[in-house]
Amino acid sequence: MSRAKISVIGAGHVGATTALRLAEMELGDVVMVDIVEDMPQGKALDLMEMAPVVGYDVSITGANGYDDTAGSDIVVITSGIPRKPGMSRDDLLATNAKIVKQVTEEVIKKSPDTILIVVSNPLDAMVYVAHRVSGFPRERVMGMAGVLDSARFRAFISMELGVSVDNIHAFVLGGHGDDMVPLAKYTTVAGVPITELMPPERVEALITRTRQGGAEIVKLLKTGSAYYSPAASAAQMCEAILKDQKKILPCCVLAQDEYGLDGVFVGLPVKLGSGGVEEVFEIELEDGVRDELHTSAGHVKELCDKVHELIEI
């Protein structure tokens, strides 16, 4: 039985770290593609030389073109410019939309049956671009955001309460931006809702910090954005698909009459398995939270509409 192939487009901090996580998890052979000459080849060689120390047994290659990506089971798209201090995710729209369009066009020529996982920002709009350009069904085009946002929420709760992150389950839905929707009601510590473990003002403070989690790291780094946690989140999605785990994870997907939304890309709980997005998992939302989700989805739609003014897709 041949090993799975995962191609990572963009070998910067996020892409290279994703390749590392995929190799360590031994999910399949990894191909890194980047336009910078020799850089992906150098990083791939470095990762291969790490294998004898760590013990993973997969092939990692670097390339400046797409031939080596042919027949990929999953393609993770991390290409694009990163956020800089003071820059919103939306500021990246024009530049990254053109990049994701071009990458998607090249990827689908070599791997027409692949599953696309988009990591590039502004996330929801970039998933929309990949979906439009590829023509793939919604099952095979998704974005990594909810896993990361939920992980941030869990990390902040763990730090607040001094408990293991393993005991914490969280859901963050909506667009990957300042109006994302962390669900306090469905966020638990060993099964106990966080609303019963801390006062409302602390819950609200952690929700605010989660919404600003990316910007907080951008401000601290000064020259780039987060990459360890986004890479780990993308790798978890790859694992759920390649191992057919049927895991419920929040991902950016095309809503088709779920949660009263239709035709818009937004973060929702999905069941990830070998078919990609196998089901959108519907949970009961209070009216106020449902309104927040619809507001967030509305902002994503505005961004997607703006894409059409900037590029032809």
| Distance between first and last Cα of the chain | 38
Considering Cα of 310, then 230, then 124, then 207, what sign does the dihedral take?
A: negative
Whole-number average pLDDT of the chain: 96
How does pLDDT run across 149-178, given as a tens digit for each residue?
A: 999 999 999 999 999 999 999 999 999 989
In the residue annotation, 169 being an active-site residue is answered as no
Would you call 75 exposed, middle or buried from its count of C-beta atoms within 10 A (0-12, 13-18, 19+)?
buried
The percent of residues in the chain predicted with pLDDT above 90, rounded, is 91
Residue range 262-267: mean pLDDT, rounded: 96
Q: What is the pLDDT of residue 82?
A: 76
pLDDT at 85: 75
Q: How confident is the model at residue 310 (pLDDT cuts 50, 70, 90)?
A: confident
Residue 241 has phi, psi (to 5 degrees) of -75, -50
CB 129 within 8 A of CB 100: yes
H helical segments located in the chain: 13-24, 39-54, 93-110, 123-134, 146-161, 200-211, 213-221, 228-242, 287-310
**List 176, 294, 299, 308, catalytic entry:** 176
The range of the structural domain enclosing residue 162 comes to 146-310
Confidence of residue 224 (pLDDT cuts 50, 70, 90): confident
Indicate the DSSP class of residue 20.
H
**Which of the listed residues 143, 171, 197 is the one where a domain comes to its end?**
143
Domain count along the chain: 2
CATH number at residue 265: 3.90.110.10
pLDDT at 1: 66
Answer yes or no: do 258 and 288 share one domain: yes
194 and 111 assigned to the same domain? no
Residue at which a domain ends, from 104, 127, 143: 143
Do 125 and 93 meet the contact criterion of CB atoms below 8 Å apart? yes
Please list, in sequence order, all residues whose beta carbon lies within 8 angstroms of the beta carbon of residue 77, skipping any fewer than 6 positions away. Answer: 9, 10, 100, 103, 104, 107, 116, 117, 118, 119, 120, 126, 130
Distance (Å, rounded) from C-alpha 140 to C-alpha 134? 10
Instruction: Tell whether the model's pLDDT for residue 94 goes beyond 90.
Output: no
Is 89's pLDDT higher than 70? no
Q: 34-86 pLDDT, tens per residue?
A: 999 999 999 999 999 999 999 999 999 999 999 999 999 999 999 998 777 77
Same domain, 73 and 187: no
Q: Considering 143, 165, 180, which residue would you say is the last residue of a domain?
A: 143
Q: Are residues 104 and 138 in the same domain?
A: yes
With vertex at residue 111, the alpha carbon angle to CA 108 and CA 116, rounded to the nearest 5 degrees, is: 70
Cβ–Cβ < 8 Å for 58, 28: yes
Q: Token pair for residue 175?
A: 């667009």
Lowest mean pLDDT among 12-21, 163-172, 196-205, 304-313: 304-313
Confidence grade of residue 2 (pLDDT, cut at 50, 70, 90): confident
pLDDT tens string 130-149: 999 999 999 999 999 999 99
